[in-house]
Structure 1
Amino acid sequence: MKQGLILFFIITFSNIGLQAQLYDEVSSGAQYSQQAYYNLSTGAVQVVSNDAWDIAFSNIGQTDAGVFINESASLSASPVKLFLAPTTDWNQPITDISIFYDSLQLYNKEANWTDGAFNEVKNPNDPFDYGWGKYNPQNHQIVGDKVYVVKKRNGEFVKLKVDSYRGGYYYFRYAQLDNSNEVIDSVARTTNGVNSIVHYSLDSKKIVNISNDYDLVFLRYITPLEDTPGVFLDYSVTGFLLAPGTQAVVADGVDVSTVNEEDYASGYSSAPTTIGHEWKSYDFTSGWIIDEDRANFVKTKNGDKYKLVFVDFSGSGTGTVTVERTKLATNKVQKSMKIVDMQCFPNPVSDVINIHVPKNEQVLVRLMNSLGQTVLSKESNSNQPIHLPANIESGIYRIIMDGRDWRATHSIVVLN
């Protein structure tokens, strides 16, 4: 299949009312052959062939280093598959491919945009372990210590290693299993701006240009489904993933014409599969059936809110879902925040962290872990030492301090 990107705009129709209802068609293509990156403010969709990219790198916060595999494949094609190599020595040839069973395959968990398939082998009890490499707190670099094997869509095997993350760049290499045809390359973390993923093609040896202005992506991905009671198997499904920075909440069992978003506002989640694939089901007599009493509320990166109701799904014939999109009114005024410098010491820290900012006022201080969860939130003076929670686990955290019209952030390492 020819690689390439097609940008097109969906024709929309509006109803007269307090809030216009727009109808978009978002397509993953015949046989689910493509990925559709969907912008809710315009209805625009950027379409990318499933085989346009193979691996991707995260730029979500200050401490993430997620590396992902492209799990999307049409019904008649094989996806890219990832395995851990039997050696950590890059120079050692790999001669036996029979050991790479599908049961040993590594997947993206889709739990967040900070951990991909390459991160799955990390030790959860080691805060410096990123799976593909280890973080060095002395020089603030991540050094690769794993070798992976990638089975490409055409059945060819290649080896791949993420050498390091340093200075804002991911450095990596890949080659034939006998070490021939080695490619050494790097991608800038900030290629697509903040809250973004950088996509890369092993065949073209280039970054794939996917605009970062999308809010949802409609595609095939792999997720565990219950096959028999208590037994889960990995299946390819077609559904929506939230873009990095997007949040959503699902209201099920409701009247979609009257449901109130405010009743669900406390349930917003950034988990990519929040909307997922379960808004439809297949009946062998009737075909695809849409969950008609389900509304999906989405909050975009800029704070706009939308109600999405799925109206129709064509299945693998065209891979098209029809979406009723309604922008919700909001009275919230976004205030511009100035960014100021923050100094934190000692770093690493175990119990008390001293903070210095060029402001002296009451502030809100939050401490976030690497999953984006708040482990501490309190009001304090801007330059007052912060006592860490007694039960805080070792790891990398981010301090966020909000003043009247300014914000300061800094990463710290907690060692306990």
Structure 2
Amino acid sequence: MKLTTLLSAALLPAATLAQSVTVSTGAGSAIQTFYSLEQGELSSVPLADWDLAFEINAFNSSILVNTAKGLKAYETTAAFDEWDLVTVPDVENWTEIQNSEVYWSAGALTHGNDLEDPLGLSVGWGTYNPVTHTIIGTRIYAIEDADGGFRKLRINSLASGTYSFTYAAIDGTDQQEATLLKSAFVGKNFGYYSFATNGTVDPEPMAADWDLLFTKYISMVPTAYPVTGVLQNKEVTAMQVDGVPISEAMWNSAELDTAINVIGSDWKSFNMTTFQYEYVQDRTYFVQDRASNIWKLVFTGYGGSANGDITFNQELVSSVSVEEEAYGQLAVYPNPSVNGQVNMVIGSELRNGRLTILDQAGRLVHAQVVNGAGSLNNVPVDLAGVKAGLYMARLEADGRVFTARIVVE
């Protein structure tokens, strides 16, 4: 059955019924595809087009390295003013660094700055000056190409919305002084730069327009390894529901997560006996887009390196067109329950609706039709036989949704 109740399903347009979608990352996962859950594919761009990505949001300063195309990033042991002394690779003494697969704002060059426990005024590649409101570079990096060549790199500063940086071949030849202006990428998450063209590139749609990025990226599984999967945009949250039949999974059974790799790549695995990809059969994802719509995604296929096709079923299960009342509008008493009996109380003028009770895994444990005569002000609910625990009550009526938590003792 559909995840939504009969009432909410009737309120959503027919276009929201589950549909099969295929998004391609190309042969060898050489393509990045930006995807809108409402509009579909927005753009597909070659993964290899860029080398560095600079965060654009006003107070952010993360810098990504395109490790997915085969680059490796190292923090050297040299001091910032020892630029001319870095002339040969020394990977045995350098520290290899990676982009976070959890936060966009923790790029490889933010290495050393734990976002959950920041190192004072350090942003990784430099130090913030609270007087001048600039960031001054403090580290020298080395970037290894897929073919084994090396560049050295330093980020000189971020001042007045302009990143200034220097890079050269490891022996100091072909030195380039470069800048990237945040103002050139207004409305984007990142501004991108290519060593090949010594200039900026602009592969990313406006941040407000896309929800998911289908791409190759580096995952710690448990060490750094290239995988192909799905990452969420900033301000797009998601949750993974396991161990529940797909038809019964509920989006309000747990908290949505801000980690960008909730979907990630582990919805598939490669069977080394059959040489076929396999998919977790009882895994459902729910994604909340920037407009607060909730989408249900179930991944069903992957074409591997041959074509990079990712196939999934997509369904809109909660729309902002259905008014969602604030938590706490539905009162429950007694709470905890007494002998499995509780009453639902709401003062709003409502008539017919449907009440569901879900456990913490999203499984349906109770459902009943509620008939009101203008005001649903005392609805008895019999939970006798339901084991002790925390449950979610959800009442949908007259196009509105009310929720509350119930403790059964």
TM-score by length of 1: 0.68
Distance 1:262 1:18 in 2: 22
| Aligned with residue 112 of structure 1, among 103, 111, 121 | 103
Instruction: Give the aligned residue type for 1:281.
Output: S
Q: Secondary structure of the residue that 1:105 maps to in structure 2?
A: strand
- The answer on whether the counterparts of 2:214 and 2:230 sit within 8 Å (CA) in structure 1 is yes
Distance 1:320 1:103 in 2: 37
Quote the offset at 1:208 in angstroms: 1.9
Distance 2:185 2:292 in 1: 20
Quote the offset at 1:234 in angstroms: 2.0
| Aligned with residue 326 of structure 1, among 315, 319, 344 | 315
| Mapping for residues 87-236 of structure 1, pairs under 5 Å | 87=78, 88-89=80-81, 91-97=83-89, 99-101=90-92, 104-122=95-113, 126-194=119-187, 196-209=189-202, 210-212=204-206, 213-225=209-221, 232-236=222-226
Deviation track 1:60-115 (CA, whole Å, cap 9, x = no partner) reads: 4x432100111213xxxxx1111112322254142321x22498321012221111
Residues 168 and 111 (structure 1), Cα distance of their counterparts in 2 relative to 1, 3 Å cut: same
- The answer on whether the counterparts of 1:25 and 1:320 sit within 8 Å (CA) in structure 2 is yes
Residues 135 and 301 (structure 1), Cα distance of their counterparts in 2 relative to 1, 3 Å cut: same
| Aligned with residue 23 of structure 2, among 26, 43, 52 | 26
Instruction: Give the aligned residue type for 2:277.
Output: W
Distance 1:219 1:69 in 2: 14
Quote the offset at 1:319 in angstroms: 1.2
| Aligned with residue 80 of structure 1, among 42, 47, 71 | 71
Deviation track 1:255-313 (CA, whole Å, cap 9, x = no partner) reads: 2233222223xx11121111111111111233101112111111122322211111111
Q: Secondary structure of the residue that 1:92 maps to in structure 2?
A: helix
Tell which deviates more after alignment, 296-305 or 160-169.
296-305
Deviation track 1:16-42 (CA, whole Å, cap 9, x = no partner) reads: 968322222111211222222222111
Q: Structure 1 residue 276 and structure 2 residue 269: aligned?
A: no
Distance 1:191 1:20 in 2: 39
The match for 1:39 is 36
Q: Secondary structure of the residue that 2:38 maps to in structure 1?
A: coil
| Aligned with residue 253 of structure 1, among 233, 243, 256 | 243
Instruction: Give the aligned residue type for 2:112.
Output: V
Distance 1:300 1:142 in 2: 33
Distance 2:321 2:132 in 1: 42
- The answer on whether the counterparts of 1:165 and 1:171 sit within 8 Å (CA) in structure 2 is yes
Instruction: Give the aligned residue type for 2:61.
Output: A
Distance 1:143 1:274 in 2: 34
- The answer on whether the counterparts of 1:65 and 1:115 sit within 8 Å (CA) in structure 2 is no
CA RMSD of aligned residues (A): 2.5
Q: Structure 1 residue 307 and structure 2 residue 303: aligned?
A: no
Deviation track 1:227-255 (CA, whole Å, cap 9, x = no partner) reads: xxxxx422222211111221111111222
Residues 189 and 214 (structure 1), Cα distance of their counterparts in 2 relative to 1, 3 Å cut: same
Quote the offset at 1:127 in angstroms: 1.9
Distance 1:224 1:278 in 2: 12
Distance 1:294 1:66 in 2: 33
Distance 1:191 1:297 in 2: 34
Residues 218 and 331 (structure 1), Cα distance of their counterparts in 2 relative to 1, 3 Å cut: closer
Distance 1:90 1:24 in 2: 52
Distance 2:219 2:187 in 1: 27
- The answer on whether the counterparts of 1:80 and 1:151 sit within 8 Å (CA) in structure 2 is yes
Q: Which runs of 5+ in 2 are unaligned?
A: 1-12, 324-409
Quote the offset at 1:220 in angstroms: 1.8
The match for 2:400 is none
Distance 2:136 2:74 in 1: 19
| Aligned-residue identity in percent | 27
Runs (4+) of structure 1 exceeding 6 A deviation are none
Q: Secondary structure of the residue that 1:153 maps to in structure 2?
A: coil
Q: Secondary structure of the residue that 1:86 maps to in structure 2?
A: strand
Distance 2:247 2:14 in 1: 12
The match for 2:51 is 54
Which of the two has higher C-alpha Rg?
Answer: 2
